[in-house]
Amino acid sequence: MNKQVEIGNTGLRVTPIGFGANTIGAHNLFENIDEEVSRETLRVALQDGVDFFDSAFMYGLGRSEELIGEILAGTGRRSEVVLATKAAHIVTDASVKLDNSPAFLEKSVDIALERLRTDYIDLFYIHFPDGVTPPAEAVGALQRLKEAGKIRAIGVSNFSVDALRAANQDGYVDVVQDRYSLVYPELEADMIPYCIEQGISFIPYTPLASGLLTGKFTAQNPPQDFRKDRPHFQGQAYLDTVAKVTSLQELADRHHVSIANIVLATTLGIDGIDVVIPGAKSPAQVRANMQTLNAALTNEEIASVRALFK
């Protein structure tokens, strides 16, 4: 599975296991972020064949982008990777607001270019709809930036399917990113089919359901952080899912990979999904994610895993 794939019809070719950089420098989202560990994690990712990095302004209020830009500049490997980032938030001491206006998006792209130390961004997303700017108007602004050579592909994230249809009225949307995993399959009903119909690549975030699908949690050892308040981490639903995840160990052993690798490989086997972007806080997690490339699942195995979680 280690061959490169094209992200939809963008012309961007990457290894199907990307790097979700939401923990890199993200002091506003996570506790005890060590930036030197973040730097080393990025270096190891490059060394181990990661060539697709997904960031956002909200990951450290620009710090994730800065660290990625620093490492790529230091290694001279910018031309070897595909960079994705996102914007929509205006953060002040008093509030967080969303803005999709053309002026804001244009400014956001220029600032992201500076942080990433590059003169083009491969894939730029509107991170969230603001509920005010007409989606087609926002995407139209990105199309102009694409024509100007500042970005190479246009994405939207966290849009409803109706908002996506409005955003894509001129056929400009290349990629959609949204929450999806084997235990959060709701988007299979409408979003993913629409993306397939339109030739849009769908990139899931939280493909491991915030760790629920990794096999590291048990009935006796549930998470004790913010996750414990989420429905899938509570009561019988949690116990049922843990049992299903544990049952994947035999398949993982057969392929000499982890349960998480089986889940990621299964997700990559779903129509419309070209790449996944699991996060990594450490070099060890990068290496663990990349082991997914060794899980050559058959169509029957993929169907079996998906059926398990239906």
How much of the chain is in helix, strand and coil states, percent to nearest 5? 45, 15, 40
Q: Is the dihedral of CA 8, 83, 58, 96 positive or negative?
A: negative
Tens of pLDDT, residue by residue over 62-79, are 999 999 999 999 999 999
- Other Cβ atoms less than 10 A from the Cβ of 181: the count is 22
Tens of pLDDT, residue by residue over 267-300, are 999 999 999 999 999 999 999 999 999 999 999 9
Q: Does residue 210 surpass a pLDDT of 90?
A: no
Q: CA separation (Å) from 125 to 11, 17, 46, 194, 310?
A: 17, 19, 23, 18, 30
**Mean confidence (pLDDT) of the chain:** 94
Q: How far apart are CA 132 and CA 116, in angstroms?
A: 29
Tens of pLDDT, residue by residue over 180-204, are 999 999 999 999 999 999 999 999 9
H helices of 79-133, in order, are: 102-116
Q: Is the pTM of this model over 0.85?
A: yes
Tens of pLDDT, residue by residue over 93-120, are 889 999 999 999 999 999 999 999 999 9
Q: For the domain made up of 5-211+270-297, give the CATH fold.
A: TIM Barrel (3.20.20)
Q: With beta carbons less than 8 A apart as the criterion, state whether 11 and 152 touch.
A: yes
Q: How far apart are CA 208 and CA 180, in angstroms?
A: 9
Answer yes or no: 59 catalytic: yes
pLDDT at residue 15 in the model = 97
From 59, 125, 194, 205, the catalytic residue? 59
Domain ranges across the chain: 5-211+270-297
Residues with Cβ within 8 Å of 70's Cβ and at least 6 positions away in sequence, in order, are: 39, 117
